[in-house]
Amino acid sequence: MNFKDFDKKSAQEIIQWAGKRFGQRAGLASSFGMEDMVLIDMLAQLDDVVTVLTLDTGRLHEETYETMERVRSKYGIHIQTFFPVKEDVERLVRDKGYFSFRENVDDRKECCAIRKLEPLKRALSGLDAWITGLRREQSVTRTDVPKVAEDPDRASLVKINPLADWTLVQVEEYIQKNNVPINPLHRKNYPSIGCAPCTRAIEPGEDIRAGRWWWENPEHKECGLHQTR
């Protein structure tokens, strides 16, 4: 299969293919931002059942949990939730405190590794493909995101990014047209939402990822979930 052929296909076509090809062996890794909500709405229209999973780092916004519940209620979707290993979190907080991630990039990546990467590894262990809401327009670290490709860090997995070529305007138009629920933080100038201590609202004219790890340079603003090479 030539994955490059998928770059010509629409998001809906790719979602339909993923459902038929992998079924529950495909998982949407969702943080319940706008892009993920678009994908959930598309998945809910399929005859094939695709897994929806999320990582609860223990430091999410209350609004994110509220959004999860709206998804469960509106779409009747079961959300598989994965948590970090309790002992690892306890060790990190005991040794380095509650905000070590603001000290430097290495400490921030250590926190992400414990709270996000290890749970993601467990979440993906039973899957053949994972679906994300990555878009090329989001940041300088994502400009070459393909729509479908082998995961460079997980050779047994196919990584599917149906919205790779979508603009923010397209995302917003889909949400409005299809009455898709969104995280209330988006209406408070939070275009990108992660852990509460690592996310802030952006100012007019700022990059849409400016509110994530705002104390770091743009080229460092990935947690390791989505490596680029």
CA dihedral 168, 171, 175, 178 (to 10 degrees): 150
Catalytic residue among 111, 112, 195, 223: 223
Antiparallel, parallel or unpaired: β 148-151 and 79-82: unpaired
Looking at the DSSP bridge assignments, the partners of residue 79 are 52
Q: State how far the Cα of 185 lies from the Cα of 27, in Å rounded to an integer.
A: 25
Looking at the DSSP bridge assignments, the partners of residue 154 are 151
Residue 223 designated active-site: yes
> Long-range CB contacts (< 8 A, 24+ apart) of 16-22?
16/46, 18/50, 18/129, 18/131, 18/160, 18/162, 19/43, 19/46, 19/47, 19/48, 19/49, 19/50, 20/48, 21/129, 22/50, 22/127, 22/128, 22/129, 22/158
For residues 25 and 54, is the Cβ–Cβ distance under 8 A? no
- Residue with tokens 């050779």, as numbered in its chain: 155
Q: What angle do CA 208, 159, 110 make, to 5 degrees?
A: 60
Both tokens of 162, joined, read: 């149906």
- Which residues are identified as catalytic? 223
